[in-house]
């Protein structure tokens, strides 16, 4: 340790600068000073009282090794959180138990979901055994007809089933979400946004159901909407620049302020937190004045730009919040812009049922499982709005492929297609020469296991009948040698 560092260490421990300078005439490092006796310190010209005080001060500070041992003991002594496993066994209804028994008798291996759906329709009705068996026979026939064949290409089937109806979708469609001027992109552009896993949709929007009295009373719902909608200073006041007196005059509109639930004091407090005008905002009757502390036109302009778009109230990103009624005749809020994390904290909002069309935001706030469900819902809703009926299992396969590694990936060269193990499959999608050049440089090997690469080289695809190898051993004719 250099002398300067030792000096600073001694001063930090409350030792006077004069005493520290005397100690450093003989000792160079802190450990040597700690090991010194009182007599040695007195020989340097330090008084007996001060020498005793220095020894006491330096002996109180434990060494790093001792500190680490204390910390380790404290960590070992601290109780650890023990997670308790919660198991909730499914309680089957009498109808489900009855159907399960009949299915076992007939040798039908149904998924439980199908039996539960049939049992829910049977609840409250009396069916004899013969009708129950006929129901299961018909269900088994329908279930088998919907099963995919062995070695069928599920991915190609899903891509075809979504892509072919997509060619019939409108290119530019805006769906008004129950309220005038709140538009949400629909049609093919929206479907492309979903599968591209865009960071932010072109028209972000949220549907926010309300709880309790807010769902019934329009005035309370309006109050909740005003807390959500972002309010800028220019939304509730006019700003004038008085160049002669080097000041800015803010004239609030009483009607707009009352509508937003704001007071002049709240605006004063918000403006006072802006760095460019901090300490310069003053109340003048019902107006606010900001006087420049220096006669500079540039300073006045900078202050004007700083307060012009100052946020007074609301949530960042939500530019509009409009009240509408849902199917149950209850009030809900439809927004332009999205900020799921902050909206969930607002009082009066039905948080479990809040919806946003920003899939990446859902992944960040609620996790990848919620994002997967959002992809399925948004893609199904977009196709449904266009009047296209696509089996949900195809959409589920796409959603699973986009989210199976714990994050939301795009279906493109920056996501699923770009991560394929086959060089030829990647090259067939986009930027062909780059993929082939890189593969040649690093010596990649393509095992030709997928569809695309086998078609490129002219081999049978290893799917369907191509996945089966037949070996024929002809019988020996009479007289042929074995």
Q: Are residues 34 and 104 in the same domain?
A: no
Cα distance between residue 378 and residue 388, in whole Å: 14
Q: Tens of pLDDT along 398-455? A: 999 999 988 999 987 778 877 788 888 888 887 889 889 999 999 989 888 888 888 9
User: Radius of gyration over alpha carbons of the chain, in Å?
Assistant: 37
pLDDT at 156: 86
Q: pLDDT band for position 1 (50/70/90)?
A: very low
Cα distance between residue 14 and residue 408, in whole Å: 56
Percent of the chain scoring above 70 in pLDDT: 91
Question: Does residue 136 belong to any structural domain of this protein?
Answer: yes
pLDDT at 2: 61
Stretch 362-390: mean pLDDT, rounded? 91
Phi, psi of 405 (to 5 degrees): -105, 15
Q: Are residues 177 and 237 in the same domain?
A: no
Angle between helices 187-195 and 368-385 (to 10 degrees): 160
Question: Is pLDDT at 373 greater than 90 in this prediction?
Answer: yes
The average confidence (pLDDT) of the chain is: 82
Q: Are residues 177 and 126 in the same domain?
A: no
Cα distance between residue 220 and residue 439, in whole Å: 63
Question: Does residue 412 belong to any structural domain of this protein?
Answer: yes
Question: Does residue 100 belong to any structural domain of this protein?
Answer: yes
pLDDT at 396: 94
The CATH number of residue 17's host domain is: 1.10.150
Question: Does residue 10 belong to any structural domain of this protein?
Answer: yes
Q: Are residues 430 and 460 in the same domain?
A: yes
Q: What is the 3-state secondary structure (H, E, C) of the chain?
A: CCHHHHHHHHHHCCCCHHHHHHHCCCCCCHHHHHHCCHHHHHHCCCCHHHHHHHHHHHHHCCCHHHHHHHHHHHHHHCCCCCCCCCCCCCCCCHHHHHHHHHHHHHCCCCCHHHHHHHHHHHCCCCCCHHHHHHHHHHHHHHHHHHCCCCCCCHHHHHHHHHHHHHCCCCCCEEEECCCCCCEEEEHHHHHHHHHCCCCCCCCCEEEEEECCHHHHCHHHHHHHHHHHCCEEHHHHEEEEEECCCCEEEEEECHHHHHHHCCCHHHHHHHHHCCHHHCCCEEEECCEEEEECCCCCHHHHHHHHHHHHCCEEECCCCCCEEEEEECCCCCEEEEEECCCHHHHCCCCCECHHHCEECCHHHHHHHHCHHHHHHHHHHHHHHHHHHCCCCCCHHHHHHHHHHHHCCCCCCCCCCCCCHHHCCCHHHHHHHCCHHHHHHHHHHHCCCCCCCCHHHHHHHCCCCCCHHHHCCCCCCCCCCCCCCC
Cα distance between residue 133 and residue 131, in whole Å: 5
Count of Cβ atoms closer than 10 Å to residue 468 Cβ: 9
How many independent structural domains does the chain possess? 5
Q: How many CA atoms lie within 13 A of 477 on its CB side?
A: 2
Q: Are residues 58 and 102 in the same domain?
A: no
Q: Are residues 307 and 366 in the same domain?
A: no
pLDDT at 138: 92
Question: Does residue 17 belong to any structural domain of this protein?
Answer: yes
Check: CB of residue 341 under 8 Å from CB of residue 228. Answer: no
Looking at per-residue confidence, does 208 or 310 come out higher? 208
Looking at per-residue confidence, does 393 or 86 come out higher? 393
Q: Are residues 413 and 446 in the same domain?
A: no
pLDDT at 419: 77
Stretch 443-471: mean pLDDT, rounded? 86
Structural domain for 139, as ranges:
94-146
- Which of these, 98, 174, 170, 162, lies nearest to 135 by C-alpha position? 98
Angle between helices 359-366 and 368-385 (to 10 degrees): 150
pLDDT at 358: 92
Check: CB of residue 454 under 8 Å from CB of residue 447. Answer: no
Looking at per-residue confidence, does 173 or 164 come out higher? 164
Q: Tens of pLDDT along 358-371? A: 999 999 999 999 99
Q: Are residues 435 and 361 in the same domain?
A: no
Q: Are residues 437 and 456 in the same domain?
A: yes
Cα distance between residue 349 and residue 208, in whole Å: 7
Looking at per-residue confidence, does 268 or 188 come out higher? 188
Looking at per-residue confidence, does 399 or 150 come out higher? 399
Question: Is pLDDT at 65 greater than 60 in this prediction?
Answer: no
Question: Does residue 132 belong to any structural domain of this protein?
Answer: yes
Q: Are residues 259 and 309 in the same domain?
A: yes
Domain boundary among 313, 330, 348: 313
Check: CB of residue 142 under 8 Å from CB of residue 108. Answer: no
pLDDT at 378: 92
Question: Is pLDDT at 146 greater than 50 in this prediction?
Answer: yes
Question: Is pLDDT at 482 greater than 70 in this prediction?
Answer: no
Length of the chain: 482
Q: Are residues 434 and 477 in the same domain?
A: yes
For 266, the token pair is: 């709240």
pLDDT at 54: 82
pLDDT at 76: 61
Q: Tens of pLDDT along 280-293? A: 777 777 778 877 77
Domain boundary among 403, 418, 433: 418
The CATH number of residue 471's host domain is: 1.10.150.390
Question: Is pLDDT at 6 greater than 70 in this prediction?
Answer: yes
Question: Does residue 256 belong to any structural domain of this protein?
Answer: yes
Question: Does residue 297 belong to any structural domain of this protein?
Answer: yes
Question: Is pLDDT at 178 greater than 60 in this prediction?
Answer: no
Check: CB of residue 307 under 8 Å from CB of residue 317. Answer: no
Q: Are residues 256 and 304 in the same domain?
A: yes
Least confident of 96-105, 124-133, 257-266, 312-321: 257-266
């Amino acid at each position: 340790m250099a002398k300067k560092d030792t000096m600073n260490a001694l001063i930090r421990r409350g030792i006077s600068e004069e005493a520290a300078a005397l100690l450093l005439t003989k000792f160079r490092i802190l450990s040597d000073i700690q090991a010194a006796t009182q007599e040695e310190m007195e020989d340097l010209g330090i008084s007996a009282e001060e020498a005793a005080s220095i020894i006491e001060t330096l002996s109180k500070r434990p060494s790093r090794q001792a500190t680490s041992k204390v910390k380790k003991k404290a960590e070992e002594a601290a109780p650890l959180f023990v997670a308790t496993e919660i198991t909730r066994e499914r309680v089957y209804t009498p109808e489900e138990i009855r159907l399960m028994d009949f299915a076992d008798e007939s040798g039908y291996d149904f998924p439980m979901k199908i039996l539960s759906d049939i049992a829910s329709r049977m609840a409250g009705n009396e069916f004899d055994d013969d009708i129950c068996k006929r129901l299961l026979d018909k269900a088994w026939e329908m279930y088998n007809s919907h099963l995919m064949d062995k070695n069928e290409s599920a991915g190609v089937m899903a891509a075809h089933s979504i892509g072919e109806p997509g060619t019939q979708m409108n290119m530019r469609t805006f769906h008004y979400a129950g309220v005038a001027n709140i538009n949400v992109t629909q049609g093919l552009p929206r479907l492309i946004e979903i599968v591209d896993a865009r960071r932010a949709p072109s028209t972000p929007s949220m549907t926010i159901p309300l709880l309790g009295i807010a769902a019934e009373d329009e005035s309370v719902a309006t109050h909740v909407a005003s807390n959500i909608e972002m309010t800028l200073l220019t939304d509730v006041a006019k700003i004038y620049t008085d160049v002669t007196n080097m000041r800015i005059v803010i004239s609030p509109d009483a009607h707009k302020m009352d509508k937003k639930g704001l007071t002049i004091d709240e605006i004063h407090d918000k403006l006072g937190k802006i760095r460019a005008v901090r300490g310069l905002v003053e109340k003048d009757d019902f107006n606010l004045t900001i006087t420049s502390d220096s006669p500079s036109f540039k300073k006045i302009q900078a202050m004007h730009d700083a307060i012009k778009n100052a946020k007074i109230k609301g949530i960042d990103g939500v530019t509009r919040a409009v009240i509408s009624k849902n199917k149950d005749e209850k009030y809900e809020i439809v927004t332009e812009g999205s900020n799921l994390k902050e909206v969930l904290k607002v009082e009066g909002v039905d948080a479990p049922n809040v919806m946003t069309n920003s899939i990446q935001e859902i992944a960040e706030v609620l996790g990848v499982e919620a994002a997967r469900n959002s992809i399925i819902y948004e893609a199904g809703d977009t196709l449904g709005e266009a009047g296209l009926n696509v089996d949900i299992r195809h959409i589920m396969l796409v959603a699973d492929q986009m989210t199976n590694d714990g994050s939301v990936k795009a279906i493109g060269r920056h996501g699923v297609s770009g991560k394929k193990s086959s060089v030829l499959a990647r090259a067939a999608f986009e930027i062909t020469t780059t993929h082939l050049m890189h593969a040649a440089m690093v010596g990649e090997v393509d095992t030709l296991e997928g569809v695309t690469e086998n078609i490129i080289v002219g081999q049978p695809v290893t799917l369907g009948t191509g996945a089966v190898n037949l070996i024929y051993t002809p019988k020996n004719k009479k007289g042929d040698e074995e």
